[in-house]
Protein backbone atom coordinates (compact mmCIF):
# COMPACT_ATOMS: atom_id res chain seq x y z
CA UNK A 1 0.00 0.00 0.00
CA UNK A 2 2.99 2.34 0.49
CA UNK A 3 4.10 1.60 -3.04
CA UNK A 4 0.97 3.20 -4.49
CA UNK A 5 1.13 6.13 -2.08
CA UNK A 6 -2.31 5.46 -0.69
CA UNK A 7 -3.19 4.34 2.78
CA UNK A 8 -6.12 2.19 3.76
CA UNK A 9 -7.66 4.91 5.90
CA UNK A 10 -10.78 6.59 4.49
CA UNK A 11 -10.34 9.95 2.90
CA UNK A 12 -11.03 12.93 5.19
CA UNK A 13 -13.92 14.08 2.99
CA UNK A 14 -15.50 10.63 3.18
CA UNK A 15 -15.21 10.67 6.96
CA UNK A 16 -16.80 14.12 7.09
CA UNK A 17 -19.70 12.97 4.94
CA UNK A 18 -20.17 9.90 7.13
CA UNK A 19 -20.15 12.04 10.29
CA UNK A 20 -22.65 14.48 8.81
CA UNK A 21 -24.97 11.66 7.76
CA UNK A 22 -24.69 10.05 11.18
CA UNK A 23 -25.44 13.34 12.92
CA UNK A 24 -28.38 14.05 10.63
CA UNK A 25 -29.82 10.60 11.27
CA UNK A 26 -29.46 10.94 15.04
CA UNK A 27 -30.80 14.50 14.96
CA UNK A 28 -33.83 13.50 12.90
CA UNK A 29 -34.56 10.64 15.28
CA UNK A 30 -34.31 12.96 18.29
CA UNK A 31 -36.61 15.47 16.60
CA UNK A 32 -39.18 12.75 15.89
CA UNK A 33 -39.09 11.55 19.50
CA UNK A 34 -39.45 15.13 20.71
CA UNK A 35 -42.37 15.77 18.37
CA UNK A 36 -44.15 12.62 19.51
CA UNK A 37 -43.70 13.54 23.17
CA UNK A 38 -44.91 17.07 22.48
CA UNK A 39 -47.94 15.75 20.58
CA UNK A 40 -48.83 13.50 23.51
CA UNK A 41 -48.46 16.36 25.96
CA UNK A 42 -50.68 18.58 23.83
CA UNK A 43 -53.21 15.82 23.16
CA UNK A 44 -53.71 14.97 26.81
CA UNK A 45 -55.63 18.14 27.77
CA UNK A 46 -57.72 17.89 24.62
CA UNK A 47 -58.40 14.21 25.26
CA UNK A 48 -59.44 15.06 28.81
CA UNK A 49 -61.92 17.67 27.57
CA UNK A 50 -63.32 15.35 24.89
CA UNK A 51 -63.74 12.55 27.44
CA UNK A 52 -65.43 14.95 29.86
CA UNK A 53 -67.84 16.11 27.14
CA UNK A 54 -68.63 12.52 26.15
CA UNK A 55 -69.35 11.65 29.79
CA UNK A 56 -71.56 14.73 30.13
CA UNK A 57 -73.44 13.76 26.97
CA UNK A 58 -74.09 10.26 28.32
CA UNK A 59 -75.25 11.70 31.65
CA UNK A 60 -77.60 14.23 30.03
CA UNK A 61 -79.04 11.54 27.76
CA UNK A 62 -79.68 9.29 30.77
CA UNK A 63 -81.30 12.14 32.72
CA UNK A 64 -83.49 12.94 29.71
CA UNK A 65 -84.72 9.36 29.56
CA UNK A 66 -85.53 9.41 33.29
CA UNK A 67 -87.36 12.72 32.98
CA UNK A 68 -89.35 11.43 29.99
CA UNK A 69 -90.33 8.35 31.99
CA UNK A 70 -91.45 10.50 34.95
CA UNK A 71 -93.40 12.79 32.63
CA UNK A 72 -95.12 9.82 30.97
CA UNK A 73 -96.08 8.39 34.37
CA UNK A 74 -97.40 11.79 35.48
CA UNK A 75 -99.47 12.15 32.30
CA UNK A 76 -100.87 8.66 32.80
CA UNK A 77 -101.81 9.59 36.37
CA UNK A 78 -103.47 12.79 35.18
CA UNK A 79 -105.52 10.93 32.56
CA UNK A 80 -106.61 8.08 34.83
CA UNK A 81 -107.20 9.86 38.13
CA UNK A 82 -110.52 11.27 36.99
CA UNK A 83 -110.40 14.07 39.53
CA UNK A 84 -110.77 17.76 38.89
CA UNK A 85 -108.88 20.48 40.69
CA UNK A 86 -112.12 22.38 41.45
Quote the distance between the C-alpha of residue 4 and its chain's center: 62
Determine the pLDDT at residue 25.
Answer: 65
Task: Determine what percent of the chain is predicted with pLDDT higher than 90.
Answer: 31
pLDDT digits (tens, 9 = 90+) for 26-66: 666 666 777 777 766 666 888 889 999 999 999 999 999 99
- 1 pLDDT tier (thresholds 50, 70, 90): very low
Q: What is the pTM of this model?
A: 0.41
C-alpha distances (whole Å) from 6 to each of 2, 3, 13, 14, 15 are 6, 8, 15, 15, 16
**pLDDT higher at 48 or 15:** 48
Amino acid sequence: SRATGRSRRPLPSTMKVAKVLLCLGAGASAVQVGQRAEARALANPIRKVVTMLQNMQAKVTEEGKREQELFDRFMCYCKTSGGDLD
